[in-house]
Structure 1
Amino acid sequence: MKPLAKPVEELPREQLPHHEDPRCVPVRRLLQTVGSKWCSLVVAHLEYEPRRFSDLKRSIGGVTQKSLTATLRELEKDGLVNRVVTPSIPPRVDYSLTPLGRTLLVPLKALTNWAIENEAAVSSARERFERENGPD
Protein backbone atom coordinates (compact mmCIF):
# COMPACT_ATOMS: atom_id res chain seq x y z
CA MET A 1 0.00 0.00 0.00
CA LYS A 2 1.54 3.27 -1.12
CA PRO A 3 1.46 6.06 1.49
CA LEU A 4 0.32 9.53 0.56
CA ALA A 5 3.15 11.59 -0.97
CA LYS A 6 2.00 14.78 0.77
CA PRO A 7 -0.03 15.51 3.89
CA VAL A 8 -3.76 15.33 3.17
CA GLU A 9 -4.24 19.07 3.70
CA GLU A 10 -1.80 19.80 0.83
CA LEU A 11 -3.48 17.54 -1.72
CA PRO A 12 -5.72 18.97 -4.43
CA ARG A 13 -9.34 17.91 -4.03
CA GLU A 14 -9.23 15.38 -6.87
CA GLN A 15 -6.29 13.56 -5.21
CA LEU A 16 -7.90 13.16 -1.79
CA PRO A 17 -8.35 9.50 -0.86
CA HIS A 18 -11.94 8.26 -0.96
CA HIS A 19 -13.58 6.07 1.66
CA GLU A 20 -12.81 2.88 -0.28
CA ASP A 21 -9.08 3.68 -0.55
CA PRO A 22 -7.20 0.97 1.43
CA ARG A 23 -5.15 3.71 3.13
CA CYS A 24 -8.34 5.01 4.75
CA VAL A 25 -9.23 1.74 6.50
CA PRO A 26 -6.75 2.10 9.40
CA VAL A 27 -7.64 5.77 9.75
CA ARG A 28 -11.37 4.98 9.94
CA ARG A 29 -10.71 2.19 12.45
CA LEU A 30 -8.62 4.41 14.72
CA LEU A 31 -11.00 7.37 14.49
CA GLN A 32 -13.86 5.04 15.38
CA THR A 33 -12.07 4.31 18.66
CA VAL A 34 -10.82 7.79 19.56
CA GLY A 35 -14.09 9.36 18.44
CA SER A 36 -16.22 7.05 20.55
CA LYS A 37 -18.53 8.44 23.20
CA TRP A 38 -16.30 7.67 26.20
CA CYS A 39 -12.75 7.72 24.81
CA SER A 40 -11.94 11.38 25.37
CA LEU A 41 -13.21 11.25 28.95
CA VAL A 42 -11.21 8.11 29.74
CA VAL A 43 -8.05 9.62 28.25
CA ALA A 44 -8.59 12.90 30.12
CA HIS A 45 -9.08 11.07 33.43
CA LEU A 46 -5.85 9.14 32.90
CA GLU A 47 -3.76 12.23 32.10
CA TYR A 48 -2.18 12.74 35.53
CA GLU A 49 -2.02 9.31 37.14
CA PRO A 50 -2.98 5.66 36.75
CA ARG A 51 -6.55 4.93 37.82
CA ARG A 52 -8.45 1.84 38.89
CA PHE A 53 -11.51 0.74 36.95
CA SER A 54 -13.94 1.62 39.76
CA ASP A 55 -12.29 5.02 40.19
CA LEU A 56 -12.64 5.75 36.47
CA LYS A 57 -16.27 4.65 36.45
CA ARG A 58 -17.09 6.82 39.46
CA SER A 59 -15.21 9.90 38.22
CA ILE A 60 -16.55 9.76 34.65
CA GLY A 61 -20.15 9.26 35.72
CA GLY A 62 -22.89 8.00 33.44
CA VAL A 63 -20.73 5.33 31.81
CA THR A 64 -21.88 1.74 32.22
CA GLN A 65 -19.48 -0.98 33.28
CA LYS A 66 -19.91 -2.62 29.87
CA SER A 67 -19.13 0.60 27.96
CA LEU A 68 -16.13 1.45 30.11
CA THR A 69 -14.76 -2.09 29.73
CA ALA A 70 -15.18 -1.96 25.95
CA THR A 71 -13.57 1.49 25.73
CA LEU A 72 -10.59 0.48 27.85
CA ARG A 73 -10.12 -2.70 25.80
CA GLU A 74 -10.13 -0.77 22.52
CA LEU A 75 -7.68 1.79 23.89
CA GLU A 76 -5.44 -1.00 25.18
CA LYS A 77 -5.64 -2.85 21.85
CA ASP A 78 -4.59 0.32 20.01
CA GLY A 79 -1.64 0.83 22.37
CA LEU A 80 -3.05 3.97 23.98
CA VAL A 81 -3.73 2.55 27.44
CA ASN A 82 -1.69 0.19 29.59
CA ARG A 83 -3.44 -2.30 31.90
CA VAL A 84 -1.50 -3.55 34.93
CA VAL A 85 -2.86 -6.34 37.14
CA THR A 86 -1.44 -6.51 40.67
CA PRO A 87 -2.03 -9.90 42.27
CA SER A 88 -4.07 -9.42 45.41
CA ILE A 89 -7.49 -10.42 46.70
CA PRO A 90 -9.38 -9.06 44.89
CA PRO A 91 -6.89 -8.41 42.04
CA ARG A 92 -6.00 -4.75 41.58
CA VAL A 93 -6.16 -3.48 38.00
CA ASP A 94 -4.73 -0.07 37.13
CA TYR A 95 -4.98 1.76 33.81
CA SER A 96 -2.58 4.40 32.58
CA LEU A 97 -1.79 6.19 29.34
CA THR A 98 1.07 4.83 27.28
CA PRO A 99 3.51 7.27 25.67
CA LEU A 100 1.44 6.91 22.48
CA GLY A 101 -1.74 7.58 24.47
CA ARG A 102 -0.19 10.76 25.86
CA THR A 103 0.19 12.07 22.31
CA LEU A 104 -3.60 11.88 21.99
CA LEU A 105 -3.99 14.50 24.74
CA VAL A 106 -2.89 17.32 22.39
CA PRO A 107 -5.57 16.85 19.69
CA LEU A 108 -8.24 15.99 22.27
CA LYS A 109 -7.52 19.20 24.18
CA ALA A 110 -7.60 21.17 20.93
CA LEU A 111 -10.98 19.64 20.05
CA THR A 112 -12.27 20.33 23.56
CA ASN A 113 -11.16 23.96 23.34
CA TRP A 114 -12.76 24.28 19.91
CA ALA A 115 -16.04 22.87 21.27
CA ILE A 116 -16.03 25.29 24.20
CA GLU A 117 -15.21 28.29 21.99
CA ASN A 118 -17.85 27.39 19.38
CA GLU A 119 -20.66 25.97 21.52
CA ALA A 120 -22.80 29.10 21.20
CA ALA A 121 -22.43 29.20 17.39
CA VAL A 122 -23.24 25.49 17.08
CA SER A 123 -26.23 25.89 19.39
CA SER A 124 -27.53 28.79 17.29
CA ALA A 125 -27.06 26.79 14.08
CA ARG A 126 -29.00 23.86 15.57
CA GLU A 127 -31.84 26.12 16.68
CA ARG A 128 -31.98 27.72 13.22
CA PHE A 129 -31.98 24.29 11.56
CA GLU A 130 -34.83 23.07 13.78
CA ARG A 131 -36.88 26.21 13.07
CA GLU A 132 -36.44 25.69 9.33
CA ASN A 133 -36.67 21.89 9.21
CA GLY A 134 -38.46 20.79 12.37
CA PRO A 135 -36.99 18.61 15.11
CA ASP A 136 -35.24 15.33 14.27
Structure 2
Amino acid sequence: MAVTDHVVDAIFGFSFSGEVREPFPAVIRALEETKVPVTSVDAPSAWDIENGPPSSGLGSAFMPTALVSLTAPKPLVRHFKGRHFVGGRFVSLSIADKYGFEIPPYDGVDQVVEVATAGGKG
Protein backbone atom coordinates (compact mmCIF):
# COMPACT_ATOMS: atom_id res chain seq x y z
CA MET A 1 0.00 0.00 0.00
CA ALA A 2 3.01 2.27 0.20
CA VAL A 3 2.80 3.00 -3.54
CA THR A 4 -0.83 4.11 -3.65
CA ASP A 5 -2.54 7.30 -2.55
CA HIS A 6 -5.96 5.78 -1.75
CA VAL A 7 -7.45 2.35 -1.02
CA VAL A 8 -11.00 1.17 -1.73
CA ASP A 9 -12.23 -1.43 0.77
CA ALA A 10 -14.93 -3.52 -0.88
CA ILE A 11 -13.89 -6.99 0.30
CA PHE A 12 -17.13 -8.16 1.90
CA GLY A 13 -20.76 -7.25 1.28
CA PHE A 14 -23.23 -6.04 3.90
CA SER A 15 -24.45 -9.61 4.44
CA PHE A 16 -21.03 -10.85 5.59
CA SER A 17 -21.00 -12.74 8.89
CA GLY A 18 -18.80 -15.23 10.70
CA GLU A 19 -15.04 -15.52 10.88
CA VAL A 20 -12.76 -13.75 8.45
CA ARG A 21 -10.92 -16.54 6.62
CA GLU A 22 -7.62 -16.63 4.72
CA PRO A 23 -6.29 -14.75 2.87
CA PHE A 24 -8.29 -11.81 4.25
CA PRO A 25 -6.90 -11.44 7.80
CA ALA A 26 -3.63 -10.07 6.38
CA VAL A 27 -5.54 -7.62 4.20
CA ILE A 28 -7.62 -6.35 7.13
CA ARG A 29 -4.50 -5.97 9.28
CA ALA A 30 -2.97 -3.89 6.47
CA LEU A 31 -6.11 -1.72 6.37
CA GLU A 32 -5.85 -1.21 10.14
CA GLU A 33 -2.20 -0.19 9.93
CA THR A 34 -2.06 1.94 6.78
CA LYS A 35 -1.70 5.71 6.86
CA VAL A 36 -3.16 5.87 3.32
CA PRO A 37 -6.79 7.06 3.16
CA VAL A 38 -9.29 4.18 2.90
CA THR A 39 -12.84 4.39 1.56
CA SER A 40 -15.11 1.49 2.54
CA VAL A 41 -18.09 0.54 0.41
CA ASP A 42 -21.32 -0.12 2.38
CA ALA A 43 -19.57 -1.68 5.41
CA PRO A 44 -15.95 -1.56 6.55
CA SER A 45 -14.41 -5.02 6.22
CA ALA A 46 -14.59 -7.09 9.43
CA TRP A 47 -17.37 -4.86 10.85
CA ASP A 48 -20.74 -6.30 11.84
CA ILE A 49 -23.57 -4.64 9.90
CA GLU A 50 -25.59 -4.07 13.09
CA ASN A 51 -22.90 -3.59 15.76
CA GLY A 52 -19.95 -2.01 13.97
CA PRO A 53 -16.33 -2.93 14.60
CA PRO A 54 -15.37 -5.97 16.68
CA SER A 55 -14.68 -5.07 20.31
CA SER A 56 -11.26 -6.74 20.08
CA GLY A 57 -9.05 -8.60 17.65
CA LEU A 58 -9.02 -8.41 13.88
CA GLY A 59 -10.79 -5.33 12.56
CA SER A 60 -11.25 -3.66 15.94
CA ALA A 61 -8.72 -0.94 15.06
CA PHE A 62 -10.01 -0.37 11.51
CA MET A 63 -11.61 3.04 10.96
CA PRO A 64 -11.74 4.00 7.28
CA THR A 65 -11.36 7.61 6.23
CA ALA A 66 -14.65 7.55 4.33
CA LEU A 67 -17.70 5.32 3.99
CA VAL A 68 -20.03 5.10 1.00
CA SER A 69 -23.35 3.58 2.08
CA LEU A 70 -25.27 2.03 -0.80
CA THR A 71 -29.00 2.83 -0.88
CA ALA A 72 -29.20 3.75 2.83
CA PRO A 73 -26.91 3.94 5.87
CA LYS A 74 -26.60 0.68 7.81
CA PRO A 75 -26.84 0.53 11.64
CA LEU A 76 -23.03 0.30 11.92
CA VAL A 77 -22.68 3.98 10.95
CA ARG A 78 -23.28 5.02 14.56
CA HIS A 79 -19.71 3.76 15.20
CA PHE A 80 -18.18 5.48 12.15
CA LYS A 81 -16.20 8.71 12.56
CA GLY A 82 -15.07 9.71 9.05
CA ARG A 83 -16.70 11.28 6.01
CA HIS A 84 -19.95 9.52 5.13
CA PHE A 85 -21.63 9.45 1.74
CA VAL A 86 -24.85 7.78 0.58
CA GLY A 87 -25.07 6.65 -3.03
CA GLY A 88 -27.89 5.16 -5.02
CA ARG A 89 -30.66 7.60 -5.69
CA PHE A 90 -33.19 5.04 -6.81
CA VAL A 91 -35.37 4.37 -3.76
CA SER A 92 -38.80 5.99 -3.82
CA LEU A 93 -40.22 7.77 -0.78
CA SER A 94 -42.93 5.10 -0.48
CA ILE A 95 -40.33 2.30 -0.31
CA ALA A 96 -38.25 4.25 2.23
CA ASP A 97 -41.37 4.80 4.36
CA LYS A 98 -42.33 1.13 4.10
CA TYR A 99 -38.91 -0.01 5.35
CA GLY A 100 -38.44 2.80 7.86
CA PHE A 101 -35.44 4.74 6.60
CA GLU A 102 -34.86 8.27 5.40
CA ILE A 103 -33.65 9.25 1.97
CA PRO A 104 -31.00 11.98 2.20
CA PRO A 105 -31.57 15.26 0.34
CA TYR A 106 -29.77 14.88 -2.99
CA ASP A 107 -28.83 18.06 -4.84
CA GLY A 108 -30.16 18.41 -8.38
CA VAL A 109 -29.46 15.18 -10.27
CA ASP A 110 -26.58 14.06 -8.02
CA GLN A 111 -26.37 10.33 -7.32
CA VAL A 112 -24.24 10.70 -4.16
CA VAL A 113 -24.66 12.95 -1.13
CA GLU A 114 -22.44 13.56 1.89
CA VAL A 115 -24.26 13.15 5.21
CA ALA A 116 -23.33 13.87 8.83
CA THR A 117 -21.84 11.14 11.02
CA ALA A 118 -21.60 10.52 14.75
CA GLY A 119 -18.01 11.74 14.48
CA GLY A 120 -19.23 15.17 13.45
CA LYS A 121 -17.90 15.19 9.89
CA GLY A 122 -20.01 15.39 6.79
Larger helix percent = 1
TM-score by length of 2: 0.28
TM-score by length of 1: 0.26
Which structure: larger Rg? 1
Larger strand percent = 2
